[in-house]
Structure 1
Amino acid sequence: MKRILVPTDFSEHAEDALKIAAQIAKKINCEIFLLHMLELPSQMSDAISGGSGIPEVMLFIKKANETFQKIKERPYLNGISVTETVHFERASNGILAFSKKNKIDLIVMGSHGSSGIEELLIGSNTEKVVRLSDTPVLVIKKDIGKFEGKNFVFASDFSNEIKKPFKKMIEFIKIFDANLFLVMICTPNSFKTTLTGEKLMHEFIADFDIQNYSLHIFNDANVENGILNFSNSINADLIGLCTHGRTGLAHFFNRSISEDLVNHAIKPVITFKI
């Protein structure tokens, strides 16, 4: 891992994410990219693309650069290479495009989450990035101080399609020398006997050379509650899982557990796209 992207709207939540990104960067000696997206009215965007300098836009850019300079002076960024960029694009689209173009290895984002009708109708930029990013996304919901990452929960159905993103997850947990808790959540709608679940998990893990792990079957009313309740029961530092990246109607009718957890979990969540 060489490059970490931290999108920022200069909010408290974005700074919480930057603090965690800084801790990771210091552990593995990597670079941080700070990205601020300016979503402008269409007429302003057209003027910029045509080379015109609109005073309002120039003011936005100036203010963003001034804020970047203040952020780069934060003590927790000492010794880290930080590159700042301002882009004019819709936030989620711009983040995804920047990540791909600059070969980002990890995106760290802050999120306040959403609920009720707001969550159903629009969701958050963080949620959209989680759903669509090919790069792993680490979502931070609050200032958690020192990020240990020692107890890592990875929840899955342990099907064959999970094996590729699982390899990325293994590389990530090596940063923290974490204890890996692999958990299968069984619900009334997706019930498996303990013997069946354990057999699936043992067959899955046999293809990987990992240590410091344990296998768990956890029963709950639904998958999301199961992941949250199990994570709380072992005092997890981080929750990991995979997302399918559904779009359109498929996404509307089959909301991703990953996105729901991003909205509702207090603990940090990292997602890996299948």
Structure 2
Amino acid sequence: MRSRIILCPTDFSETASHAISYAVEMANLYQVGVRLLHVVDKPFGDKHTRVLAETQDELNERMEKQAAVEMQQYIDSLEGYFPFESSISHGHPVEQILATAKNIDAGMIVIASHGRTGLNHFLNTNTAEKVVNKARCPVLIVK
């Protein structure tokens, strides 16, 4: 851990921003870098699609471009704070987080948890919990 990059997945939420501050603190302590990762998940529902207006590939490309813009704005807002590496990937968030951690030989994953409980926890998949259970490196969950 002490000499390997810290992976910090983000969905651009306030909770994820809070997790980044922990990642930066750990990175400063161990003198390592931070890689921000945003995963563009498979879209579902009318919110993301236009009826017969675009193909799945066009939709994926549009979502990736939007994620790239959001990632750059996000990094710009933090730039004076710490230099970041960043990447955007497509697919299931848990799978992509774990694959990225393996590919970059991450020393730690710092991930936000939205703290859902009860029925809301049951109905919404908990990415942080699944990452903790499957990761091969230490994972810090931030609420």
Structure-2-length-normalised TM-score? 0.77
Matched, 1:215 2:69: no
State whether residues 151 and 179 of structure 1, in contact with CA within 8 Å, keep that contact through their aligned partners in structure 2.
yes
Q: CA RMSD in A?
A: 2.0
Residue 43 of structure 2: which of 179, 183, 189 is its match? 189
In the TM superposition, what are the counterparts of 1:79-158 in structure 2 within 5 Å?
147-158=1-12
State whether residues 149 and 238 of structure 1, in contact with CA within 8 Å, keep that contact through their aligned partners in structure 2.
no
State whether residues 178 and 212 of structure 1, in contact with CA within 8 Å, keep that contact through their aligned partners in structure 2.
no
* Alignment partners' CA distance in 1, 2:102 and 2:81: 24
Task: Give the partner amino acid of 2:132.
Answer: V
Task: Give the partner amino acid of 2:18.
Answer: K
* Alignment partners' CA distance in 1, 2:37 and 2:19: 16
Tell me the equivalent position of 2:130: 260
Deviation at 1:267, TM superposition (A): 1.6
Query: Unaligned 5+ residue runs, structure 2?
Result: 45-59
* Alignment partners' CA distance in 2, 1:194 and 1:255: 22
CA 213–184 in structure 1, closer or farther in 2 if over 3 Å, else same: same
Deviation at 1:152, TM superposition (A): 0.8
> Percent identity between the aligned chains?
23
* Alignment partners' CA distance in 1, 2:108 and 2:15: 22
* Alignment partners' CA distance in 2, 1:195 and 1:262: 29
Query: Unaligned 5+ residue runs, structure 1?
Result: 1-146
Structure-1-length-normalised TM-score? 0.42
* Alignment partners' CA distance in 1, 2:110 and 2:43: 22
- State the structure with more CA Rg: 1
* Alignment partners' CA distance in 2, 1:237 and 1:165: 16
State whether residues 39 and 96 of structure 2, in contact with CA within 8 Å, keep that contact through their aligned partners in structure 1.
yes
* Alignment partners' CA distance in 2, 1:188 and 1:149: 34
What is the DSSP-based 3-state SS (H/G/I as helix, E as strand, rest coil) of the residue aligned with 2:29? Answer: coil
Task: Give the partner amino acid of 2:103.
Answer: S
4+ aligned runs moved over 4 Å, structure 1: none
What is the DSSP-based 3-state SS (H/G/I as helix, E as strand, rest coil) of the residue aligned with 1:193? Answer: helix
* Segment drifting more, 147-156 vs 158-167: 158-167
Task: Give the partner amino acid of 1:152.
Answer: I
Deviation at 1:243, TM superposition (A): 0.2
* Alignment partners' CA distance in 1, 2:139 and 2:112: 11
